[in-house]
Amino acid sequence: MRHLTLPAAFLLALTASGEGAGAQESPILVPVTTIYPGDLVRSAMLRTDHAHAGEPRGVVVSGDEIIGKAARRTLLAGRPIPLDAVEDPRAVINGGPVRLVYTSPGLAITAPGQALQAAGVGESIRVRNSDSGIVVVGTVAADGTVRVAR
């Protein structure tokens, strides 16, 4: 029977458990502090960590995937960030004021409105015209206005 010295036995145990030099790690980004829903993610809020083999896949590994996006749910400090936990920031918030714009050749009409849902640029949204009370559907423009088509 072969006897192992304590250091050799220790290294063998580490390798068997996947924590030694042979463990596969990949870099991921984690928050340095808690990020709350609706917060825009900035690079100063993140640090690089390592995911060990067997940890969940589908997590943020690059700043391009998350910086400038809004958190959809609470992101805990030091925890991997699932890819579906962030989204493009909303240009219009539910209940917020918006400017309705209707244009036609030779005609432009604007009116104040109240958003009846949150939406990002390019998305359709229902808006109540503040002057008439009529609910219209329009598309959110990059400047935050809602373009209404007939």
pLDDT in tens, 78-88: 999 999 999 88
Detail the DSSP E strand segments found in 80-123. Answer: 86-87, 97-104, 107-115
- The CATH number for 110's domain is 2.30.30.760
- Residues 28-85: pLDDT tens digits? 999 999 999 989 999 999 999 987 666 667 898 888 989 999 999 999 999 999 999 9
Same domain, 66 and 104: no
Q: How far apart are CA 22 and CA 53, in angstroms?
A: 11
Same domain, 120 and 77: no
Work out the percent of the chain whose per-residue pLDDT is above 90: 59
DSSP designation for 144: S
Evaluate whether residue 112 is within a structural domain: yes
- Residue numbers of the domain that contains 128: 97-148
- Give me the chain's average pLDDT, please: 84
> What is the predicted pLDDT for the residue at 38?
87
Same domain, 38 and 68: yes
pTM for this one? Answer: 0.59
Residue 26, SS3 per DSSP: strand
If one counts the domains in the chain, the total is 2
